[in-house]
Amino acid sequence: MKIDILTLFPNMYQGIFDESIIKRAIDEGKVEINIHNFRDYTLDPHKKVDDTPYGGGAGMVLTCQPIFDCVKSLRNDDSIVILMTPDGEVYKQKKAYELSKKKHLILICGHYEGFDERIRSICDMEISIGDYVLTGGELASMVLVDSIVRLMPGVIEEESHVNDSFNNNLLDYPTYTKPRVYEGMEVPEVLLSGDHKKIEEYRREMSLQRTKERRPDLLEK
């Protein structure tokens, strides 16, 4: 997979893709991630990429030309162009699985007051990571990339994400490791039994219980 990210602040990505699972996926050639400063594409002699909004109002609005031209230079028949915006489709695990199977993603990160509405016309989908507003789309794009790359074949063991929270509309079951007792809190006996069927049943029960308590809305789907 190839992922191209359009941003005005490429330095924000320093470090995030240089550690842990994503770095390993890059080093092993499973994913290629490129950061593009779309200011480099502006035709404005002063390198402007924004302007005041028609009709008045606070803030500055990102202009079409640099983003259009940057996307045109990157897009091919396999590309999916995604606009990171708080009024987009709320991101879910199902969408992460869907996107992990694509060959090429182009992520557009807005900033300032917003972007010219016509920029939506070159996008295949619009995604929000939640009902809140950030200073820009950069952090949202990082969330997207992390959630997608970990699901790609060979990046982590499939068993590690098969039972992730939100798969089958359930939250994940509780997990434990050594020591068996810590400050009076004990590991449930069933997990020490070696009976795989009972362990599986226990985990399913705990997953269902946790979902009922914390996210009952998931069980209504």
Residue 179 appears among annotated catalytic residues: no
Instruction: Report the distance separating Cα 49 and Cα 42, nearest Å.
Output: 6
For residue 174 the two structure tokens come to 């509780």
Residue 217 appears among annotated catalytic residues: no
C-alpha distances (whole Å) from 56 to each of 102, 110, 163 are 40, 19, 50
Instruction: Report the distance separating Cα 33 and Cα 106, nearest Å.
Output: 10
Residue 150 appears among annotated catalytic residues: yes
**Helix or strand or coil: residue 23?**
helix
The per-type count for the chain, helices as H runs and strands as E runs, is 7, 10
Pairing of strands 104-109, 2-7: parallel
* Options 50, 116, 138, 150, the catalytic residue: 150
- Asked if the peptide bond before residue 188 counts as cis, ω within 30 degrees of 0, the response is no
* Options 24, 164, 172, 203, the catalytic residue: 164
Residue 86 appears among annotated catalytic residues: yes
Instruction: Report the distance separating Cα 57 and Cα 171, nearest Å.
Output: 43
* Options 4, 86, 116, 138, the catalytic residue: 86
* Options 24, 53, 75, 113, the catalytic residue: 113
Indicate which residues carry an active-site annotation: 86, 113, 150, 164
